[in-house]
């Protein structure tokens, strides 16, 4: 189905050609953001692949964890996630499908993103993890409101209004949101008709509120939030942790500051947070707690990194680590091949139970990264398999990165290993590439690049309920950056995230060129254009 010929009659069934109506100034209208989340995503993909499963309570399993269940199962009281053992015991008729191969999920995820991006009213589409997309429909909606439509024109809302609230069809803000609800319905219909998958949506003035309200009527339905309902929606959340973008590490810092409830955070001042957060972050956290989120919907491009992780009971020898890293590299090679770009940085992530205990931390992931010569992965431009020689060199590089986190002479108990790659050059032939890889002039594959994103092959139990952006935040907060103890370079401006040994081995002119070509490593958070206001004054603005 195409959106070339949309029937907007249902949104504005009548016209008033003689109206003296003055269109509202778009600057006075809200942004309209739609958040789409697929229902029991992995389970739905499995049901598309095997329709017999539709009539059965089923779940998707990775290792010993059930990571999602279909809605038939949920209707019978089977939880969305849990351990395989517990769920199988309690619900013997629950059918479990192995979901460790992410290929089909990624493929559907990509198709959803492409479908939504192709809709003419979708101004920007931002992917969030595997099964979510933010869609900014503001320009289309404002154009409609500003067009010939009279304020007396009847306007409809598709789906629900949050808490079945009353909306005012004469209010331009409400009308914008109502139009958003019609577009959300259109998106969901397209996904259902073209891919056979149901989804749920939230429609609100910003990304955070759209995501929060979208969960109110699941599955296969949608909810719109009126501006005056923002506080009521936030009141349904127990802690700051429930806000998308506030991960458990940030939440732990807030608790240390004595900020435990959402109300505590709503009433906090930037200075109250200064001990733990810089000014920008403090302001952003307070704003988020008040439902203020000026962050734009950024059109998703290719991911900045590609990677996977595996979790296991315990690894405590170098041979086991080597075997696991080799296995991970093999799977990563497939992802890099599908992506079509050749990376310049490789990173190994590990979690060591003994270190966690010693540091009294429940969740401690460490990472080390280094530059790699491009020729090592060049073959992945045309084949999903690494040649044996390159593979063994890469395994050695990974092992040496692991050595920086694990001391072989001390006992260790690894429970997670991951490998990711990043720093995909945008330009093709320059002296730096010549230096790093002979004959590596062309980087982008000629076949259309496929998108992929960093998703653990196996997810941690503790992360089981977290959306990927929050997982990424936790991940980032635990990353230990490589520190340069004695810079073997006359260039004092050393890129903090590069391996010192590799850096030291580069000729000076290459170092200078690399420094000049790289963006700043600690970009400041985007300054927000909204000042923190008292929450009441903010929401009094619109009703």
Rounded Cα distance between 188 and 170, Å, is 26
- 368 makes contact, choosing from ligand DCP, Mg ion, none, with CB < 5 to 8 Å by partner type, with none
Interface pick for Mg ion out of 30, 37, 61, 454 (rule CB under 5 A): 37
Binding status of residue 113 toward ligand DCP by CB under 6 A: no
Binding status of residue 497 toward Mg ion by CB under 5 A: no
Interface pick for ligand DCP out of 12, 41, 140, 277 (rule CB under 6 A): 41
3-state secondary structure (DSSP) of residue 457:
coil
CB of 411 closer than 8 Å to CB of 317: no
Interface pick for ligand DCP out of 29, 30, 42, 475 (rule CB under 6 A): 42
- 79 makes contact, choosing from Mg ion, ligand DCP, none, with CB < 5 to 8 Å by partner type, with none
Sequence-distant (6+) residues with CB within 8 A of 4 are: 120
42 vs 436, which CB is nearer to ligand DCP?
42
Binding status of residue 46 toward Mg ion by CB under 5 A: no
CA distances from 263 to 204, 242, 290, 533 (A): 21, 13, 9, 15
Which 434-453 positions form the footprint of Mg ion (CB under 5 A)? none
15, 114, 126, 132: the catalytic one is 132
The total number of residues written for the chain in this structure: 543
Structure tokens at 278: 């810089």
Dihedral sign, CA of 445, 447, 448, 453?
negative
Interface pick for ligand DCP out of 11, 29, 33, 67 (rule CB under 6 A): 67
222 vs 459, which CB is nearer to ligand DCP?
459
Q: Which of 96, 112, 121, 86 is nearest to 46 (CA)?
A: 96
Q: Which element (helix H / strand E) includes 213?
A: helix 207-214
Rounded Cα distance between 494 and 477, Å, is 21
Q: Which of 28, 1, 35, 44 is nearest to 183 (CA)?
A: 35
CB of 182 closer than 8 Å to CB of 8: yes
Residue span binding Mg ion (CB under 5 A) among the ranges 29-37, 163-171, 280-288, 292-300: 29-37
131 vs 499, which CB is nearer to Mg ion?
131
Binding status of residue 130 toward ligand DCP by CB under 6 A: yes
Sequence-distant (6+) residues with CB within 8 A of 431 are: 510, 513
* Class of residue 93 by CB neighbours under 10 A (exposed 0-12, middle 13-18, buried 19+): exposed
β-strand partners of 95:
58
Residue span binding ligand DCP (CB under 6 A) among the ranges 13-21, 38-46, 120-128, 378-386: 38-46
The question of whether 132 is a catalytic residue gets the answer yes
Cα 49 → chain centroid: 25
- 68 makes contact, choosing from ligand DCP, Mg ion, none, with CB < 5 to 8 Å by partner type, with ligand DCP
Binding status of residue 272 toward Mg ion by CB under 5 A: no
- 503 makes contact, choosing from ligand DCP, Mg ion, none, with CB < 5 to 8 Å by partner type, with none
Please report how close the Cβ of residue 213 comes to ligand DCP at its closest, in angstroms: 14
Rounded Cα distance between 181 and 325, Å, is 47
Q: Which residue is nearest to ligand DCP (CB)?
A: 68
Rounded Cα distance between 223 and 371, Å, is 46
41 vs 337, which CB is nearer to Mg ion?
41
Please report how close the Cβ of residue 305 comes to ligand DCP at its closest, in angstroms: 18
Binding status of residue 464 toward ligand DCP by CB under 6 A: yes
Structure tokens at 403: 């050595």
Binding status of residue 221 toward Mg ion by CB under 5 A: no
Binding status of residue 297 toward ligand DCP by CB under 6 A: no
- 294 makes contact, choosing from ligand DCP, Mg ion, none, with CB < 5 to 8 Å by partner type, with none
Rounded Cα distance between 411 and 352, Å, is 10
Please report how close the Cβ of residue 265 comes to ligand DCP at its closest, in angstroms: 24
In the sheet with 305-315, reading across from the earlier edge strand, the strands are 305-315, 414-422, 345-352, 365-371
Which 127-156 positions form the footprint of Mg ion (CB under 5 A)? 131-132
Interface pick for ligand DCP out of 219, 294, 296, 449 (rule CB under 6 A): 219
Please report how close the Cβ of residue 336 comes to ligand DCP at its closest, in angstroms: 20
Which residues here bind ligand DCP, judged by CB under 6 A?
37-42, 67-68, 80, 130-131, 218-219, 459, 463-464
Which residues here bind Mg ion, judged by CB under 5 A?
37-38, 41, 131-132
What residues act catalytically? 132
């Amino acid at each position: 189905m195409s959106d070339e010929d949309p029937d907007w009659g249902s949104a504005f069934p009548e016209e008033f050609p003689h109206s003296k109506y003055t269109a509202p100034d778009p600057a006075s209208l809200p942004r309209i953001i739609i958040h789409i989340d697929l229902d029991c995503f992995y389970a739905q993909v499995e049901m598309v692949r095997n329709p017999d499963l539709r009539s059965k309570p089923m779940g998707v399993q990775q290792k010993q964890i059930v990571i999602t269940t279909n809605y038939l199962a949920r209707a019978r009281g089977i939880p969305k996630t849990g351990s395989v053992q517990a769920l199988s015991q309690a619900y013997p008729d629950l059918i479990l499908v192995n979901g460790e191969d992410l290929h089909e999920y990624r493929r559907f995820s990509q198709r959803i993103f492409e479908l939504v991006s192709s809709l003419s009213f979708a101004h920007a589409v931002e992917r969030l993890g595997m099964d979510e997309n933010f869609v900014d429909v503001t320009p289309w909606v404002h154009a409609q409101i500003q067009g010939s439509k009279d304020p007396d024109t009847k306007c409809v809302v598709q789906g629900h209004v949050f808490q079945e609230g009353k909306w005012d069809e004469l209010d331009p803000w409400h009308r914008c949101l109502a139009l958003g609800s019609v577009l959300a319905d259109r998106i969901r219909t397209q996904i259902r008709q073209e891919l056979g998958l149901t989804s749920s949506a939230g429609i609100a003035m910003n990304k955070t509120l759209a995501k929060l309200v979208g969960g109110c009527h699941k599955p296969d339905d949608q909810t719109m939030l009126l501006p005056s309902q923002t506080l009521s929606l936030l009141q349904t959340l127990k802690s700051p942790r429930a806000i998308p973008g506030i991960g458990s590490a940030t939440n732990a810092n807030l608790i240390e500051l004595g900020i435990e409830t959402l109300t505590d955070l709503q009433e906090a001042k930037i200075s109250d947070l200064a001990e733990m957060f810089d000014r920008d972050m403090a302001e952003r956290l307070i704003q988020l707690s008040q439902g203020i989120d000026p962050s734009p919907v950024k059109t998703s491009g290719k991911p900045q990194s590609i990677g996977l992780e595996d979790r296991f009971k315990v690894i405590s020898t170098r041979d086991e680590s080597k075997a696991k890293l080799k296995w991970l590299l093999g799977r990563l090679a497939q992802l890099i091949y599908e992506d079509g770009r050749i990376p310049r940085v490789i990173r190994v992530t590990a979690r060591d139970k003994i270190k966690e205990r010693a540091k009294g931390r429940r969740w401690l992931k460490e990472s080390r990264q280094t530059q790699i010569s491009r020729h090592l992965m060049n073959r992945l431009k045309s084949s999903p398999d690494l040649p044996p020689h390159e593979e063994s060199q890469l395994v050695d590089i990974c092992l040496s990165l692991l050595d920086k986190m694990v001391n072989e002479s001390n006992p260790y108990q690894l429970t997670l290993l991951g490998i990711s790659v990043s720093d995909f050059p945008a330009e093709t032939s320059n002296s730096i590439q010549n230096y790093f890889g002979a004959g590596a002039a062309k980087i982008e594959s000629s076949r259309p690049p496929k998108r992929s994103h960093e998703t653990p092959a196996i997810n941690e139990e503790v992360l089981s309920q977290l959306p990927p952006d929050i997982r990424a935040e936790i991940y980032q907060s635990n990353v230990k950056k490589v520190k340069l103890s004695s810079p073997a370079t006359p260039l004092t401006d050393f890129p903090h995230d590069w391996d010192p040994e590799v850096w030291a081995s580069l000729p000076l002119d290459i170092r200078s060129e690399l420094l000049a070509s790289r963006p700043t490593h600690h970009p400041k958070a985007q300054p927000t254009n909204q000042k923190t206001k008292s929450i009441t004054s903010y929401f009094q603005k619109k009703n």
